[in-house]
Structure 1
Amino acid sequence: MTEVFDAVYRGESPFGKRPPWDIGAPQPAYVALEEAGLIGGAVLDAGCGTGEDALHLAGKGYAVTGLDLSPTAISLARDKAGARGLDAVFEVADALDLKGWEGCFDTVIDSGLAHTFEGDTLRSYAAALHRACRPGAVAHILSISDRGSAEMQARLAEAIEEIPAPLPDNDEPPCLKRSADHLRHGFAEGWTVESIDETHIRGIIPTTSELLDVHAWLGRFRRS
């Protein structure tokens, strides 16, 4: 997966120079969480991409670490931090492991990483976050829903010839789909579910730079 995502960030995919999740600004959901006072302490941006959410929080004075599997994404995030004069740490790391980051964080933000994991892999991710967090830490997980994924897929297929039209439903069990239960089951061990609310995740149509808000889940989980 490292090479797949690195190629996307290098502009070597049907998306062109900009993947649809790299909107050039923080996710509105995380702007709202910070304004509501729900971000605190040392912050981990898991799967930070090119760093917009992490840099937004760094600009608000938080100690933020952004981790991503893609070296190209991390390089771009570091360049942004330098250009903006912001003090944020960006490192290449596997979110399913997080070795070396044990007990470091009080808050986690995740914009679109958890929804790439299914079943046991999502549980492994939640376990890695548990190790990286201090007791009482909070993880805010912004995850596209099935509905939102279909909305985005349809718009991308309209705009980019190489993007396939939506595939027929494959009758996977509900726990393997992008549902609230998908998140709830994934964070069942070592975490307390405080809320899973409906919200939107913002994407971009690369060919037109049109911003698009699609249906998503925002889960809040408390580490035991």
Structure 2
Amino acid sequence: MSEADGPDGPGAMTEVFDAVYRGESPFGKRPPWEIGEPQPVYVALEEAGLIGGAVLDAGCGTGEDALHLAGKGYAVTGLDLSPTAVSLARDKAAERGLDAVFDVADALELTGYEGRFDTVIDVGLAHTFDAGRLRAYAAALHRACRPGALAHILSISDRGAAEMQARLAEAIAEIPAPLPDDASESPGLRRSADHLRDGFADGWTVESITGTRIRGVVPPTAELLDVHAWLGRFRRI
């Protein structure tokens, strides 16, 4: 069985995330990363002048961050593995009268998008990848970006993941609550600053990796929850 056909391949992941976006998971109709507004970190980055040119929202979900930037006048393309998420994002764009492009694509390949982008934003996609897949993702972004492009990667940290897991477990009976030091649920997956740095070691310059907060939502209550995360800024060589 090839990796593409395996349990972590794009076909299997599409099925998983499509089910989530259809409301067929313990999260109900609203997964914890769909907060109904742009991430505060990306609002601040745009205000600071760190977004420019053609923008890629990698793993766009239902499009809140892409649509925020489209509303500011940027040319934005949102890509996601889930057709259901992309369909929801397109509906939002039409309802709001915003000119943003949303398409289905595998972020580990990005075939057909070579040399297209000047800025990348990523809310919570990179932190789903182990070391090998993170390097493949960084290589795909390198192909999709022009020289000098900036990639802003917002990635939950180990600490933040434990905080979010514990809060979700309190609210949803089906969600387990592993101890913060229990890595058995995701062996080999470490959400550290070094993990990001190593993933973007080839073809990128690390400009900064800083501690910040990523906003999530506790689905049953719609309570917004900010947990610890890393914000990596990488420049394409």
Contact 2:129 2:189 in 1 (8 A): no
Mapped pair 1:33 → 2:45? yes
Mapped pair 1:185 → 2:180? no
Shift of 1:170: 3.3
Cα separation, 1, equivalents of 2:177 and 2:157: 18
Which residue is equivalent to 2:147? 135
Q: 1:171 to 1:50 in 2, by over 3 A?
A: closer
Q: Structure 1 regions of 5+ residues with no counterpart? A: none
Cα separation, 2, equivalents of 1:33 and 1:130: 21
Secondary structure class of the residue paired with 2:66: helix
Shift of 1:171: 7.8
Matching residue within 150, 155, 162 for 2:167: 155
Which residue is equivalent to 2:5? none
Secondary structure class of the residue paired with 1:77: helix
Cα separation, 2, equivalents of 1:170 and 1:159: 22
Matching residue within 199, 212, 218 for 2:212: 199
TM-score, normalising length: structure 2: 0.92
Which residue is equivalent to 1:121? 133
The alignment's C-alpha RMSD in Å is: 1.4
Matching residue within 4, 12, 37 for 2:24: 12
Q: How high is the sequence identity, in percent, across the aligned residues? A: 84
Shift of 1:175: 7.9
Cα separation, 1, equivalents of 2:132 and 2:88: 31
Secondary structure class of the residue paired with 1:87: coil
Mapped pair 1:42 → 2:54? yes
Secondary structure class of the residue paired with 2:28: coil
Structure 1, residues 28-70: CA drift from partner, whole Å, max 9, x if none? 0000000000000000000000000000000000000000000
1:61-100 aligned at under 5 Å gives the runs 61-100=73-112
Mapped pair 1:146 → 2:158? yes
Secondary structure class of the residue paired with 1:137: strand
Structure 1 letter corresponding to 2:115: G
Cα separation, 2, equivalents of 1:83 and 1:197: 36
Contact 1:146 1:179 in 2 (8 A): yes
Matching residue within 183, 186, 189 for 1:170: 183
Cα separation, 2, equivalents of 1:59 and 1:183: 30
Following TM superposition, the consecutive aligned residue runs of length 4 or more in structure 1 with deviations greater than 6 angstroms are none
Shift of 1:152: 0.2
Shift of 1:176: 4.0
Structure 2 letter corresponding to 1:116: T
Shift of 1:118: 0.7
Structure 2 letter corresponding to 1:114: A
